[in-house]
Amino acid sequence: MNNIKIKRCGEKKVLNLREKNGVYYFVFPKLEELGIVDHLFSTRLGGVSKGCYSTMNLSYTRGDEKEAVDENYMRISEVMGHGHKLDDFVSTFQTHTTNIRVVTKEDRGKGPQRPRDYMDIDGLITNVPGIILSTFHADCPPVYFVDPIHKAIGLSHSGWKGTKGKISARTIDEMHANYGTEASDLYCAIGPSICGPCYEIGEDVAEQFAESFSRKELEEKGILIPYPGGKYRLYLWNAIKQTLLEKGVKEENIFVTDVCTKCNSDILFSHRMQHEERGNLAAFLSLK
């Protein structure tokens, strides 16, 4: 790993890069310390996909060969350990909504192994050990939720639409309704995704954020930074963190990525850099 250079945001090292059996992936040490979950965020390295999907593409919908994606998932399952197989994964059906699905044992394998019988799902929650929740990414942030009190977890895809719609708050609401989760007990992590300085948006998106966050929040929390020519820089990480704090998650229990997908597009897929000619990264979270 000495020859892999990571451009980090800030001086504090929040994520660690690991390697196992040739697969490179990121982990949050603070989530590992809880001792009740396995998790990772994939990189482009360590799979068998070719061409623009090279090499660890984890999406079945971008045109890659199914056999290659199957093998990539098998390699991820080996990294996750505990004898996991393809039928332990459960995937979202992402369409930039704020919809959350409660995952039960009957859902095992929906995604890689079995067809998904649901649509428009950008977040997953479960209290079933061994199920691996999966979300897909290529600049949009994943948000991990761990409730060590009630032994429940959640994983959400929080692109700009989901962040504007406060999918993180919706995820916490669903965890509370189904498992009794209290926000103050949660540990949350915002995973690798596009950083604020790299994320230029126009007036139309900026106006939508002004509907969800107050002007004071947008300015003081560093969510929306005006730039010349009617452009803005959108800091999704700050917006998600503010949503978590408003919901009652303790600040010391929120871990914000220090890795930008666009800044590190040599090892991470980035829609802003590679557009449609790319694969997808994935976030994974499982109760032990």
Q: Is residue 204 part of a domain?
A: no
What does the alpha-carbon distance between residue 110 and residue 87 come to, in Å, rounded to a whole number?
7
Mean pLDDT of 165-182: 98
Output phi, psi for 177, to 5 deg. Answer: -65, -35
Question: Which position has the token pair 């990264």?
Answer: 281
| 44-73 pLDDT tens trace | 999 999 999 999 999 999 999 999 999 999
Q: Is residue 102 part of a domain?
A: yes
What does the alpha-carbon distance between residue 89 and residue 110 come to, in Å, rounded to a whole number?
7
Beta strands in 75-120 (DSSP E): 89-91, 100-102
What does the alpha-carbon distance between residue 24 and residue 32 come to, in Å, rounded to a whole number?
17
| 198-207 pLDDT tens trace | 999 999 999 9
Please choose, from the candidates 63, 60, 59, the residue with its C-alpha nearest in 3D space to the C-alpha of residue 42.
59
Greater confidence (8 vs 3) lies with 8
Q: Is residue 46 part of a domain?
A: yes
Q: Is residue 11 part of a domain?
A: no
Output phi, psi for 136, to 5 deg. Answer: -115, 145
What does the alpha-carbon distance between residue 75 and residue 240 come to, in Å, rounded to a whole number?
31
> Is a pLDDT exceeding 80 seen at residue 1?
no
How many domains does the chain fold into? 1
Q: Residue 2 has what pLDDT?
A: 63
- CATH number of the domain at 148, please: 3.60.140.10
Q: Is residue 64 part of a domain?
A: yes
Q: Is residue 52 part of a domain?
A: yes
Strand partners, 17: 26
Q: Is residue 66 part of a domain?
A: yes
| 245-286 pLDDT tens trace | 999 999 999 999 999 999 999 999 999 999 999 999 999 999
Domain that holds residue 34: 16-194+250-287
Q: Is residue 219 part of a domain?
A: no
Q: 12 pLDDT band (50/70/90 cuts)?
A: confident
Strand partners, 142: 157
Single-letter code of the amino acid located at 126: T
